[in-house]
Structure 1
Amino acid sequence: FEAYVWHVQEIDGNDLRAITNALAAARAELNHPSLIRAHTHIAYGSPHKQDTAEAHGSPLGKQEIQLTKKALGWPTEPEFYVPQEALDHFRQVAERGQSQETQWRTRFAAYAAAYPELAAQWDPILQGELPQGWQESLPTFLPEGGELATRQASGKVLNAIAAQLPTLIGGSADLAPSTDTLLKGWEEFHLSPRGRNLRFGVREHAMGAILNGMALHGGIRPYGATFLVFADYMRPSIRLAALTKLPVIYVFTHDSIGVGEDGPTHQPIEHLASLRAIPNLTVIRPADATETAVAWKLALERRTGPVALILTRQKLPVLDRRIFPPADLVAQGAYTLAEAEAGPLRLILMATGSEVHAALQARKLLEAKGIGTRVVSMPSWELFAEQSKAYREEVLPAAVKARLAVEAASPMGWREYVGEQGDVLGISRFGASAPGAVLLEKYGFTPENIAVRAEALLR
């Protein structure tokens, strides 16, 4: 921290006067962040349990408490003793707080009188409300525009909506170009307070913690990006965001073995399952650029917890929404993308992300054999779980037992949707170093293999 030019102090953490002086010095330091390193003793003052592991997980016990009080010069009676001086001091806190709030409101009233339009924005922004009509700035994606990786589509969405959402601010763990999360035309925050691009450095956990702090303060919609495989480094921060219902947005790119030559160290396998296991974290893995735009809309509108956007490195076709159902159905978590046409519905293929395209091609092969096959795009289990039982039955009718889930990740969790008579085409081993397209073929994510696996369910 000294090398980072922080204001660093080292004190005896059991010395109350030293703590008071260090805090005062930290508050007085206005040019650098502060770190106070306090050396302490666990169970300080306990004659028999100070500096022991036992004191960490177990109460001292009545007799040891008495001995500790005597060692510290503290009255042994009453059992719970609060000196009047301490009580008086803490009771002044409410009065002091009321006085400070009155002063702040007086200053804000003067500001509102001088700048009424800006002041009118204060409360809505602090409450996390989005400007009216901001959705109109969302870009439209058409097949004619060519193939796009969903990370590229995400970058286009970010830059299209940035001007309409002045509270949107974020960055990456030193991967801005690769994750496509740089807000073009906006300054770097460390160079200007007007900046909206944050450079977190190669510190995923710190990035997650900083995002949490900004979300807790309010008035800011923070996002942070890295490769999906590195989500493990920030898992405690993600878990805390979910636990405290913070509206943080995570952009996790390079989402499968489709990463390619970087090899198994950079190819996520178990990560989707582990993120889905976190309560109150909404995970969305869009199938193309159109689903990505809607995913961003949903992420920004969700204020009761964090959202993780799972995006590809490799380019994908853009689904033609003049043929397929509208991408707005992503809000339902899962929806019928292509319906059975060759006959009665006999088979359901469900997929997420890049595998949706392979599932659509597999459907053509199955339909050519007269097998009525439905393809369900299922970008978000969490959103699907929020839908009515009737809607879930409409998408995944219980009467259709032949179901195949297709996802280039751990199959863990899919059994809930495919049932005992269904199957999962996933990955239960690590990846390898080869071109992404080659890996996807070798691991079985081809239309032909999907069709074979699916048809086997009908036998």
Structure 2
Amino acid sequence: MNMTDDHDVTRRSIDTIRALAMDSVQKANAGHPGTAMALAPLAYTIFTRFLHANPADPAWPDRDRFVLSSGHACVLQYSLLHLTGYDLKLDDLKQFRQWGSRTPGHPERLHTPGIEVTTGPLGQGVGNAVGLALAERFLAERYNRPGGHHPVDHHVYAICSDGDLMEGISQEAAGIAGQFGLGKIVLCYDDNRITIDGTTEISFNGEDHLKRFEALGWHTLSVDDSEDLDEIAAALAAGRDETERPTFIKVRSHIAYPAPNAVDTAKSHGAALGEDEVRATKEVMGFDPDAHFAVADDVYEHMDLREQGAAAQTAWQQTFDAWGGEHPDLKAEWERAWAGELEDGWREALPVFEAGEKLASRASGNKVMQAFAPYAPTMLGGAADLVESTRTTFVGGGQFSRVHAGRNVPFGIREHGMGAIVNGAAAHGGIVSPYGSTFFIFSDYMRGSIRLSALSKLPVVWVFTHDSVGLGEDGPTHQPVEHFAALRAIPDLWVIRPGDANETTVAWRVALERQDGPVALALSRQNIETLDRTEVAAADGLERGAYVLWDSDAGGGAPELILIATGAELPATLEAGRAIAAGGTRVRVVSMPCWELFEAQTQAYRDEVLPRETGARLSVEPGVTLGWAKWVGDRGDSLGVDRFGASAPGTRVLEELGFTPEAIADRATALLQRAT
């Protein structure tokens, strides 16, 4: 930014943001102009006076992060990115919300330069901001040295709306931020008192937001006039300088200001203002009402952040190089972590389990975690108050708290907030495959965050345990049945349900190696017998999603029956297949822990595992059978649970629902008889 004190160019810059917002929405005939207009002074102040970022290199590690949780107002952010020198052209603004444009209807990570996280579903950005700050705290404690050079020292500035604060996820995330004293967050609340349905008096007028955040452990401030740049700057500075608590700033604004007829109206929230109102507003601002997407040269010059951003990055790079010279081992670790890589030798360190050993996959998963933990020093995560059950703690890794940024994050009973925070930590960079964990049934409570992890291509691991009716006595409220299908329905999410301890090792390996999206692990509460891999195929076959575990007669032609199983039911299915084969039937048992990986294989490989000529196929999985027709075909059958479970010991529930070797064999035999 050209650091001029010229009040006129400052005001015209702010009004230019408003004009671009109006023009973009008007041209698209879709969008949310009012909030963007109201927030122009606040966002201008954040970007030009507080945000340490380099438009020429939006990903440099120690930049400040900006999150627009009220993602419907994204045209505000796009206008600022364009004006401050990011690689976003005026033509991109003209293509707002159009097919293939770089300016979609809500901000999308990896789609538009300068966008840190994908926001839109309200409240998610608040959780993402907490995750970004949590990552900053963790990395600062790990890499900064007293009295020396600090490679990690940045802030998270975020803007949220009434809708963000109404959604419960923001309460969950804000509670965690206050609990941990994440002082690098400055969250600005746009108090425009308008929602789609009208004023907030009808739905959101019964709480004091400042007292609410104060009770959560936040530093709270208030700005009475969103047009007062000095008041805004003073509040932002106070928030930046507060290091012991996150800061919440309530900013009173007027939606669609200074539109003469649309200001403070619900209509201006989610619709174009109309040509007449756009012209009238430009006249109020002293702009040419007939000019569209017009930006004065001195506004471009005034708002260009490239020079000062490059200087900030250069200064950081000098600090980083000096730090790296003093701590070469830490520098090498840093570079691997930012590349999403584990330390050399981690694959060889993973455990191999002995045949016959009986372990729940949550237990074998814990052993795998302890094995790779030293090789992933910046991996962190936790559970929703369930680490004793999910077994997802790093032994000796310390607990994340107000005084120590340990690797084990006690999220409390806040599944949805946990999901958004984990996503934010992953988006930050330098945190290798962060994870969140809970019972599989409670993936319902965090589905929005899981979906966004896939949409954002974030390398996170969702660890879900107690993955079937086999969990037992807690009954149908805790027994997942539809959840396999529900998560498999999310594009780009890999759902892996390993069938024994060694498949669990490979599942974790796949999860850690994936860097272009999330992986969900579905692990059992009940013990699973570890298969003898000298008698069946190696567990490495999991890397391809499905593989031939066992053939009764490898040289006898195509199988007459294929049994396809996932997870804890794999050993029972293998036993059933062997029993049927003893009567002379050619039987194949296929382990299919991950549909998505199998779908990614060549058609030739899929046909090799599941020959098209074999119509007698039975799938075995204790969940709804929805979707299995794709793999068993119209002549096949599926043994599943198309009902809710029951409260009883897990072995009894599985027995009653037909998941014993004998029942599987009976179901398969009946299928064979129909097929012939």
Label 1:236 to 1:13 Cα distance change in 2 as closer, same or farther (>3 A). Answer: farther
- Read off the aligned partner of 1:278 and give its amino acid letter: I
- Which residue of structure 1 aligns with residue 518 of structure 2? 306
Distance, in Å, in 1 between the alignment partners of 2:337 and 2:566 is 34
| 246-255 or 156-165, which deviates more | 156-165
Q: CA deviation at 1:192?
A: 5.1
Task: Report whether the alignment pairs 1:274 with 2:486.
Answer: yes
Distance, in Å, in 2 between the alignment partners of 1:319 and 1:51 is 67
- Which residue of structure 1 aligns with residue 592 of structure 2? 378
Unaligned runs of 5+ in 2: 1-212
**SS in structure 2 of the partner of residue 57 of structure 1:** coil
- Which residue of structure 2 aligns with residue 358 of structure 1? 572
- Which residue of structure 2 aligns with residue 401 of structure 1? 615
Label 1:226 to 1:104 Cα distance change in 2 as closer, same or farther (>3 A). Answer: same
**Superimposed CA distance per residue, residues 30-52 of structure 1 (whole angstroms, 9 cap, x where no aligned partner):** 11112233444443444444454
- Read off the aligned partner of 2:664 and give its amino acid letter: I
- Read off the aligned partner of 2:249 and give its amino acid letter: I
**SS in structure 2 of the partner of residue 424 of structure 1:** strand
Q: CA deviation at 1:74?
A: 5.9
- Read off the aligned partner of 2:510 and give its amino acid letter: L
Superposition RMSD on alpha carbons, in Å?
Answer: 2.1
- Which residue of structure 1 aligns with residue 272 of structure 2? 59
Where do 1:417-436 residues align within 5 Å? 417-436=631-650
- Which residue of structure 2 aligns with residue 150 of structure 1? 361
Task: Report whether the alignment pairs 1:122 with 2:334.
Answer: yes
Distance, in Å, in 1 between the alignment partners of 2:223 and 2:387 is 39
- Which residue of structure 2 aligns with residue 31 of structure 1? 244
Where do 1:266-345 residues align within 5 Å? 266-341=478-553, 344=557, 345=559
**Superimposed CA distance per residue, residues 109-149 of structure 1 (whole angstroms, 9 cap, x where no aligned partner):** 222322233323332221112211111211121135x3110
Task: Report whether the alignment pairs 1:22 with 2:265.
Answer: no
Indicate if the aligned counterparts of 2:615 and 2:633 stay in contact, CA closer than 8 A.
yes
- Which residue of structure 1 aligns with residue 289 of structure 2? 76
- Which residue of structure 1 aligns with residue 427 of structure 2? 216
- Read off the aligned partner of 2:619 and give its amino acid letter: A
Q: CA deviation at 1:297?
A: 0.8
- Which residue of structure 2 aligns with residue 88 of structure 1? 301
Identity of aligned residues (%): 52
Distance, in Å, in 2 between the alignment partners of 1:442 and 1:54 is 57
Label 1:44 to 1:432 Cα distance change in 2 as closer, same or farther (>3 A). Answer: farther
Task: Report whether the alignment pairs 1:195 with 2:406.
Answer: yes
Distance, in Å, in 1 between the alignment partners of 2:657 and 2:603 is 34
Task: Report whether the alignment pairs 1:167 with 2:378.
Answer: yes
Label 1:432 to 1:40 Cα distance change in 2 as closer, same or farther (>3 A). Answer: farther
Indicate if the aligned counterparts of 2:344 and 2:375 stay in contact, CA closer than 8 A.
no
Distance, in Å, in 1 between the alignment partners of 2:285 and 2:471 is 61
| 60-69 or 374-383, which deviates more | 60-69
Distance, in Å, in 1 between the alignment partners of 2:602 and 2:444 is 33
Distance, in Å, in 1 between the alignment partners of 2:362 and 2:553 is 33
Q: CA deviation at 1:66?
A: 2.5
Distance, in Å, in 2 between the alignment partners of 1:30 and 1:408 is 50
Label 1:265 to 1:114 Cα distance change in 2 as closer, same or farther (>3 A). Answer: same
- Which residue of structure 1 aligns with residue 467 of structure 2? 255
* Number of matched pairs: 457
- Read off the aligned partner of 1:397 and give its amino acid letter: P
- 1:176 aligns with one of 380, 387, 405: 387
- Which residue of structure 2 aligns with residue 231 of structure 1? 443
**Superimposed CA distance per residue, residues 45-82 of structure 1 (whole angstroms, 9 cap, x where no aligned partner):** 44444454433332111012223445667663534454
- Which residue of structure 1 aligns with residue 458 of structure 2? 246
Label 1:269 to 1:15 Cα distance change in 2 as closer, same or farther (>3 A). Answer: farther
Label 1:320 to 1:24 Cα distance change in 2 as closer, same or farther (>3 A). Answer: same
Task: Report whether the alignment pairs 1:139 with 2:351.
Answer: yes
Distance, in Å, in 2 between the alignment partners of 1:426 and 1:436 is 16
- Read off the aligned partner of 2:493 and give its amino acid letter: L
**Superimposed CA distance per residue, residues 371-428 of structure 1 (whole angstroms, 9 cap, x where no aligned partner):** 2111101000111112121111110000101111111111111111111111111122
**SS in structure 1 of the partner of residue 528 of structure 2:** coil
Label 1:24 to 1:427 Cα distance change in 2 as closer, same or farther (>3 A). Answer: same
- Read off the aligned partner of 2:329 and give its amino acid letter: E
**SS in structure 2 of the partner of residue 143 of structure 1:** coil
Label 1:100 to 1:267 Cα distance change in 2 as closer, same or farther (>3 A). Answer: same
Unaligned runs of 5+ in 1: none
Distance, in Å, in 1 between the alignment partners of 2:227 and 2:481 is 49
- Which residue of structure 1 aligns with residue 661 of structure 2? 447
Q: CA deviation at 1:259?
A: 1.5
- Read off the aligned partner of 2:603 and give its amino acid letter: K
